[in-house]
Amino acid sequence: MKKILSIFIDESGDFGDYDLNAPYYLVAMVLHDQQIDISSEITNLDQRISNLGFPLHAIHVGPIIRKESLYERYDDPVTRKSLLNALYHFARRIDIKYLCPRIKKSECSDFIQLNAKLSREISTQIRNNYDYFNGFDQIIVYYDNGQNELTKILTSVFNTLFTNVEFRRVKPSDYKLFQVADLICTWELLALKAEDKTFTKSETEMFDSPREFLKNRYKLITKKKL
């Protein structure tokens, strides 16, 4: 049977000038062997979302924490935390791996340097795990094409390293694993903010403290890191 690797991509940051409030650029890559069936876990997650009183939708972690967009109407932080926990425990239960290249924008003098540094970091992390990627007959990369610059980097890096890669544009609401990529991207960013002691008020309310986040939530997710 043909072995297919799905890679779901999400990012945090932009290619603009350095901003003290957004000093990093991260790219989460969630890796899933399509031979591993996760349909029952998806069904359970949908049921959990419905039981909490939320419509079925693409869960976005940042807006949950900040009480934005769809989540504005949910004043009770316990309800929003329960939704976040549902996605978090889904990510913990399913058999996935992930990589998350990250760049300090302060180390990049301009757009060209940021582009080059990010390309190298993505390429390096893939090369360091070449045996894993080469264990598949086909690689399918799913991205919502949210940032043209990242789309160009991804197509360049993957097509340089592999001959068996295909790209597909994804709608976040269609794939739970894309939503997991959003969670992991946020988790990795929060870990950096915890280390920098730059948690916001809403982040502290959601996770109690940076130390608690690193000790529990982040530590458990990193067991999935390739």
Question: Domain coordinates of the chain in residue numbers?
Answer: 4-224
User: Is the separation of the CB atoms in 137 and 126 below 8 Å?
Assistant: no
**What angle, rounded to 10 degrees, do the helices at 176-196 and 77-93 form?**
110
Digit-coded pLDDT (tens) for 169-190: 988 888 999 999 999 999 999 9
- pTM reported for the whole predicted model: 0.95
Residues 6+ apart with CB under 8 A from 84: 59, 61, 64, 65, 206
How much is the pLDDT for 76?
A: 86
- Take residue 184 and report the two structure tokens written for it: 């992991």
Nearest residue to 84 (alpha-carbon basis) of 125, 39, 54, 116: 54
Answer whether CATH 3.30.420 is correct for domain 4-224.
yes
Q: What is the pLDDT of residues 45-98, one digit of tens each?
A: 999 999 999 998 999 999 999 999 999 999 888 999 999 999 999 999 999 999
User: Which tens digits make up the pLDDT trace of 2-61?
Assistant: 999 999 999 998 888 877 778 999 999 999 999 999 999 999 999 999 999 999 899 999
Ramachandran class of 208: left when φ > 0, alpha when ψ lies in -120 to 50, beta otherwise: left
Cβ–Cβ under 8 Å, residues 101 and 118: yes
**Is the distance from CB of 114 to CB of 103 less than 8 angstroms?**
yes
Please give the backbone phi and psi of residue 68, each rounded to the nearest 5 degrees, phi first: -120, 165
